[in-house]
Structure 1
Amino acid sequence: MSVFDNIIEQDLVSPHIFSFYLNRDTSADLGGELTLGGSDPAYYEGDFTYIPVTRKGYWQITIDRIEMKFDYLCEESCQAIVDTGSSLILGPKLDIAKINTFIGVDDSRIVDCNKIFQLPTIRFIMGGKAFDLTGKDYIIRHPNNESICIIVFSKHYLKYHNEIKWVLGMPFIGRYYTEFDMERDRVGFALAKSSSKCIESLSLSHFIVYFIIIFVISFLVSLVFNKNEINFRN
């Protein structure tokens, strides 16, 4: 049972929704926000597009297709999960190779930082709506050398359920404010405000800090639950 499941079971929050905002502008004071019990309109614009969860246990949804100008991936739909614990967008090896070719990079995933705004758009179609990722969305500064720019697309190694082909991690959530609706078993996406202002501000730093914070919180909560369980058994 997850932390949020425990919160729901104790009737501490309503509605049974949690949402994530991740800010890729490293000059901003706020790196992101986790909202329990709904969504915060201060961090997104427009309406949500909701995609039904196809498999409980994961936040698994259907990608209708992925468009790269005149080429397509996932043409007959495929399964993906929305994962706040992933710092990348992960996909099948052959599909990632096609994306690399489309963008114009090799297996090193390194991009000329001066050409970010010339890079093509990659479009994820979900729930009948197009979710576009442009160069400034799918390129980040290397955490150890900010003069190097790399793409966030990478092949995964099937540590997830076999039918899952894609993992939409933090770069996607950074572009699209994400709502996890446990009442209706659906995931909602809306355009995040100031999600990626300019390439000079892009880096992994906020993602790394965010991940560490979430890990520490989860660890501390698990300690509390384990202690309560031990006390109960005693």
Structure 2
Amino acid sequence: MRSLALLLLLPTAVSLYYAMSAAPLAGAAAIPVPTAPRSRRSSFIVPMKRRRGTTMLHTKNASAVFDPTHAKEELQMILVKYQNASKILKNLLPLPPQDGVAEHPLIGATPIASAPLATAQDAPLVIPPILVASGTATMPLTDMVLDGLDVLYYGPLQIGTPPQTITVDVDTGSADLWVPARCATCMNKQFDPSASTTYADAGKQFAVSYGTGAVTGVLAQDVVAVQGLAVQKQAFGAVTSESDDFDGYPNSGLLGLAFSSIASSGAPTFFENLIEEEQLAAPIFSVFLARGEETGSEVCFGCMNPVKTLGDISWIPVISKTYWSIALDSVSVNSTMAPSTNVVAAIDTGTTLIYLPEQLATELYDMIPCGRQAAEIGPEFFTYCCDIDFSVSLSFGGEPFALNMSDFNMGPAADDSSSCVGGILALGQGFPSNLAIIGDEFLKSWYSIFDYANGARVGFAPSVNNR
């Protein structure tokens, strides 16, 4: 089935931004401000699907006993995914510039150590409109839950000439694009290079590791498109071998949307090429993640969708153009706060849960009634009393952002147990002591906007999931 998106037809949409001053955001009104026109401006919404598992629940069953399988697998995955984070946070890797996108999206670098940790109000608000070109439509979205968790979001990408549609996991925590091609071990739909008249082998090897799994192949080039937004010579990994860890996943590949400074390929990302070629209405993409709903999840390239939000956007400056990394000020339980010191939070749509430095996670659960480390499950896990009401918030840019407690509650620790497992886990050995990873558990409550301009920043607006 196909459905029409809400269309906002604006006479001068191609050349407008909606701007606000740097004054506090609450209650302020948007003011249209003209900008210089740029060629081929348009924006498209990409619907996404969820992974199909052997168990699919439309709503989370809080009474179901917690199964640690996925969380433990994810811990292994992020250990490899963030294996270079320690070097990045210590400024041992070269970082891209912190300049705007006027000349190039990656010009003018500032390492983490010297970047100012500005507040959310310090960043001026810029809201680009939804732009819709003639003949553009959205595609249907499917939201599936695996074992009570919103595990994976993926959507369609077109590759080659004529275009072949391949589904990809949309991941702001990595920067490579890869799809299976001529892969004997791959179970899902593959890209066929021989059927594309524009395919080119770059003559280099390609390899990416994910926890206990890995994909290998060759670096290639071809037309890559999201509906009408197309990059003619996009670099990607044409995967010829993948480990059996990927069996049972419905998506074929992965679309990385972090900064290309951390790409294994060393090439600009699909989104960065769209910016460089001036195909976008604005150098942003935004993400809405549904909670237990079969329809509604989307990523919008070049735009944001105000229909998916309930309030104003709070902007937080990016402090390293590597991951989409912002400063985590503190964590709070009710009105009690545990401040963090120089903690860098990576905003990661490709991760399900929330992970904090071990010391900060311990301080958080110390503030929760009956909170304790659950060594019987694993050193990264904590439990708390199921029948106690409380709230948990993360603070970015001086503003608190609350979690939905149904996302935080991962279920009873055991049959007839009065203790529930918390959805915030500890990052221990192998991880930097100042790294936090903020996954879908948080993003389901906060519509997220990723902006390459204004020095690069992340915006959060209350999601319609919060109704």
How far apart are residue 114 of structure 1 and its match?
A: 6.2
Task: Identify which of 124, 137, 145 aligns with 2:394.
Answer: 124
State the AA in 1 paired with 2:425. S
- Aligned residues of 2:372 and 2:384 also touching (Cα < 8 A): no
The aligned counterpart of 1:193 is: 464
State the AA in 2 paired with 1:171. E
The aligned counterpart of 2:348 is: 83
State the AA in 2 paired with 1:152. G
1:95 aligns with 2:325: no
- Aligned residues of 2:331 and 2:364 also touching (Cα < 8 A): no
Query: Please, which runs of 5 or more residues in structure 2 have no aligned partner?
Result: 1-267
The aligned counterpart of 2:286 is: 19
Q: Distance in 1 between matches of 2:384 and 2:329?
A: 31
How far apart are residue 158 of structure 1 and its match?
A: 7.0
SS in 2 for 1:15: coil
1:51 aligns with 2:316: yes
- Aligned residues of 1:43 and 1:192 also touching (Cα < 8 A): yes
CA gap 1:149/1:36 in 2 versus in 1, 3 angstroms: farther
How far apart are residue 187 of structure 1 and its match?
A: 0.3
SS in 2 for 1:47: coil
TM-score (norm 2): 0.36
Task: Identify which of 154, 157, 163 aligns with 2:425.
Answer: 154
The aligned counterpart of 1:179 is: 449
SS in 1 for 2:465: coil
Q: Distance in 2 between matches of 1:158 and 1:186?
A: 29
Task: Identify which of 161, 166, 169 aligns with 2:439.
Answer: 169
State the AA in 1 paired with 2:306. P
1:34 aligns with 2:304: no
How far apart are residue 175 of structure 1 and its match?
A: 0.8
1:10 aligns with 2:277: yes
How far apart are residue 193 of structure 1 and its match?
A: 0.5
CA gap 1:73/1:165 in 2 versus in 1, 3 angstroms: farther
TM-score (norm 1): 0.69
CA gap 1:133/1:66 in 2 versus in 1, 3 angstroms: same
Q: Distance in 2 between matches of 1:167 and 1:110?
A: 17
How far apart are residue 88 of structure 1 and its match?
A: 1.1
How far apart are residue 39 of structure 1 and its match?
A: 0.7
How far apart are residue 69 of structure 1 and its match?
A: 4.0
- Aligned residues of 2:444 and 2:465 also touching (Cα < 8 A): no
Number of residue pairs the alignment of both structures matches: 188
Q: Distance in 1 between matches of 2:402 and 2:284?
A: 25
Q: Distance in 1 between matches of 2:362 and 2:402?
A: 19
The aligned counterpart of 2:327 is: 62
Q: Distance in 2 between matches of 1:159 and 1:7?
A: 35
CA gap 1:164/1:171 in 2 versus in 1, 3 angstroms: same
Q: Distance in 2 between matches of 1:3 and 1:95?
A: 35
Q: Distance in 1 between matches of 2:384 and 2:336?
A: 23
Listed one character per residue, the Cα deviations across residues 59-93 of structure 1 (whole Å, up to 9, x for unaligned) are: 11112222234643334453211111111111111
Listed one character per residue, the Cα deviations across residues 108-158 of structure 1 (whole Å, up to 9, x for unaligned) are: 45768963xx4321222222221112422412459xx9x996422112257
Two-structure CA RMSD over aligned residues (Å) = 3.0
CA gap 1:110/1:126 in 2 versus in 1, 3 angstroms: closer
- Percent identity between matched residues is 27
State the AA in 2 paired with 1:7. L
Q: Distance in 1 between matches of 2:434 and 2:429?
A: 8
- Aligned residues of 2:330 and 2:337 also touching (Cα < 8 A): yes
How far apart are residue 44 of structure 1 and its match?
A: 0.8
Flag the structure with more relative contact order, 1 or 2, with Cα contacts below 8 A and sequence separation at least 6: 1
CA gap 1:110/1:123 in 2 versus in 1, 3 angstroms: closer
- Aligned residues of 1:119 and 1:134 also touching (Cα < 8 A): no
Query: Please, which runs of 5 or more residues in structure 1 have no aligned partner?
Result: 198-234
Q: Distance in 2 between matches of 1:163 and 1:75?
A: 11
How far apart are residue 2 of structure 1 and its match?
A: 1.9
